[in-house]
Amino acid sequence: MCGILGVVAKTPVNQLLYDGLLVLQHRGQDAAGIVTAEASGVMHMHKGSGLVRDVFRTRNMRSLMGNVGIAHVRYPTAGSASNLAEAQPFYVNSPFGIVLAHNGNLTNHQQLKDDMYRSNMRHINTSSDSEALLNVFAYELQKRVKSFELSPDTVFEAVAAVHKRVRGAYAVVAVIAGYGLVAFRDPYGIRPLVMGVHPTPAGDEYLLASESVALDTMGFKLERDVEPGEAVFITMDGQRYSRQCADAPRLVPCIFEHVYFARPDSVMDGISVYEARLNMGDNLADKIRRVSPELDIDVVIPIPDTSRASALQLANRLGLPYREGFIKNRYIGRTFIMPGQSTRKKSVRQKLNPIGVEFKGKNVMLVDDSIVRGTTSKEIVLMAREAGAQKVYFASAAPAVRFPHVYGIDMPTRAELIATGRDEAQIAEEIGADAVFYQDLAALEQAVADASGGRITTFETSCFSGEYVTGDIDEAYLDQIESRRASPLSRDSDGGSRLLDLNIGVAEQNLI
């Protein structure tokens, strides 16, 4: 998952975008970038590999001038990890000059890349699907612009054309130099995008973000979500226009945002992530009581951070004590979104350390939000036993992850998933637990639907169900992404910093 921001303000936006990226850091730790735009049309970019605080220095911030801008934190799903050439935003110089930041993953990006080259004579220089997306948008806009007068209608027609050509998940913010900010969301609204307003004496300012937490902390009031298929165009001087650009939009948001990705203090599509997680805890408790009414649990312990809300509620519902048995090193990032299995494995032990007294001689119920590769659960169960636990049960607030995720979460091969080819008893054995309990999919959907007040009942659940909402994913597609990933030339080895871009600042540590 990535985090995106787009802003049209009345004063310089460099600090606001930097601060906003810091609150979206949990959505991507691989690279970060900001582009600001001046009314004259001049744009400034700085991006680099690593965490937000490592990419931007004071001197870089000073060069980011302008009252309009976009920003991105990357967690790669296409192309390769730690490849500076794929850090976002991307830039293309025609028409007008456009920069774009994308959260999601396009399922037809190879096709798009070919079409761009063969039919539209546009060169895509990286393996990033987002660069392809930018070029599709630029091409469709160029086809429609007649002069230097760019009307909202033309922008919306270009977005409508993008919806027709592009498949998969995309929440997008872009700046058209000298004209304004464009934001749009795919016709299923798989990835989130919220819009906030900040009134000033000089007029309203607008901030679009992946999560509402960025609006809260920047002093913007959450106004609404960008609708699935909708595009919003805000001119440099703050005139706002919006239009539905998809033929058959239908909100089917990604349920994994609520399970793991988003911060609990965010509200997306009107759903409080925190409330959804509390409901998951309730439903998981009911399942445990139903399938193992005699289970002898002394204490419920969360695997920090993400499972805390669900674990707390599960303990309440079962009438059991809840204890913080693992202390998290706050300086280690999220392990699931780190590239490379060996880094992830090492990080679990660096990140979490048990408090002996909570384990010694006890039967513990460990609760996590999800078990994906099993990296965390295997280490944690072992740590609980080493700390003296008698029995170790493990509960997951999400169902077993059995299918690749193709819409912006990096879990593409079935071979990597611990649940592949194993039932619950075998998974328990694999992670060394006495028993494993998974949430049922219907109960997970119910938990999130309840948090929406019953307004939203369908979710993108493919990694649990194998049903892909965009309708273009079949066995052959999954086999193809799996074989590409398994090949020695894929991902990290794609390497090389083929950086062709706006005259930008690049974090210096990457210029070796």
Ligand X SMILES: NC(=O)CC[C@H](N)C(=O)O
Which are the catalytic amino acids? 2
Residue whose CB is nearest to ligand X in the complex, by number:
2
Choosing from 1, 70, 85, 213, the residue that interacts with ligand X (CB under 6 A) is: 1
Identity of the residue, 123 or 328, whose beta carbon is nearer to Mg ion in the bound complex = 328
Identity of the residue, 139 or 256, whose beta carbon is nearer to ligand X in the bound complex = 256
| Kind and range of the H or E run holding 466 | none
Binding range to ligand X, per CB under 6 A, among 99-107, 301-309, 431-439, 455-463 = 99-107
Q: Residue 396 binds which one of ligand X, ligand PRP, Mg ion, none, with CB within 5 to 8 A depending on kind?
A: none
Q: Residue 1 binds which one of ligand PRP, ligand X, Mg ion, none, with CB within 5 to 8 A depending on kind?
A: ligand X
CB burial class (10 A; 0-12, 13-18, 19+) of residue 52? buried
Q: Residue 86 binds which one of Mg ion, ligand PRP, ligand X, none, with CB within 5 to 8 A depending on kind?
A: ligand X
118-157 footprint of ligand X as x/- string (CB under 6 A): ----------xxx---------------------------
Tokens 């280690």 belong to 332
- Determine if residue 368 is labeled as part of a ligand binding site: yes
Q: Note whether 377 binds ligand PRP by CB under 6 A.
A: yes
23 vs 471: CA distance, rounded Å: 34
CB 211 within 8 A of CB 262: yes
Strands 43-49 and 31-37: antiparallel
Identity of the residue, 145 or 382, whose beta carbon is nearer to ligand PRP in the bound complex = 382
Angle between helices 129-144 and 152-165 (to 10 degrees): 130
444 vs 45: CA distance, rounded Å: 41
- Name residue 182's amino acid: V
CB burial class (10 A; 0-12, 13-18, 19+) of residue 119? exposed
Q: Residue 462 binds which one of Mg ion, ligand X, ligand PRP, none, with CB within 5 to 8 A depending on kind?
A: none
Output the CA–CA distances (angstroms, integers) from residue 167 to 62, 123, 136, 176, in the order listed.
38, 20, 12, 23
Q: Residue 322 binds which one of ligand X, ligand PRP, Mg ion, none, with CB within 5 to 8 A depending on kind?
A: none
Choosing from 127, 135, 210, 375, the residue that interacts with ligand PRP (CB under 6 A) is: 375
Q: Residue 78 binds which one of Mg ion, ligand X, ligand PRP, none, with CB within 5 to 8 A depending on kind?
A: ligand X
Output the CA–CA distances (angstroms, integers) from residue 103 to 162, 211, 387, in the order listed.
15, 12, 40
Binding range to ligand X, per CB under 6 A, among 78-86, 140-148, 393-401, 501-509 = 78-86
Choosing from 211, 368, 410, 501, the residue that interacts with ligand PRP (CB under 6 A) is: 368
Choosing from 371, 397, 400, 456, the residue that interacts with ligand PRP (CB under 6 A) is: 371
CB of 268 to ligand PRP, least distance (A): 17
Q: Residue 371 binds which one of ligand X, ligand PRP, Mg ion, none, with CB within 5 to 8 A depending on kind?
A: ligand PRP
* Range list of β-strands (E), 433-492: 435-438
Site for ligand PRP in 246-275 (CB under 6 A): 260
Strands 3-8 and 68-74: antiparallel
Site for ligand PRP in 277-306 (CB under 6 A): 303, 305-306
CB of 368 to Mg ion, least distance (A): 6
Strands 363-368 and 352-354: unpaired
* Tokens found for residue 267: 């509200």
- Determine if residue 369 is labeled as part of a ligand binding site: yes
Q: Note whether 336 binds ligand PRP by CB under 6 A.
A: yes
Identity of the residue, 104 or 281, whose beta carbon is nearer to ligand X in the bound complex = 104
Task: Quickly list H helices, 101-210.
Answer: 109-118, 129-144, 152-165
Tokens 């540590």 belong to 509
428-467 footprint of ligand X as x/- string (CB under 6 A): ----------------------------------------
Output the CA–CA distances (angstroms, integers) from residue 451 to 122, 265, 436, in the order listed.
44, 13, 26
127 vs 113: CA distance, rounded Å: 9
Please report the sign of the dihedral spanned by the C-alpha atoms of residue 186, residue 187, residue 193, residue 197.
positive
- Residues placed in the known binding site for Mg(2+): 306, 368-369
List residues near Mg ion by CB under 5 A: 306
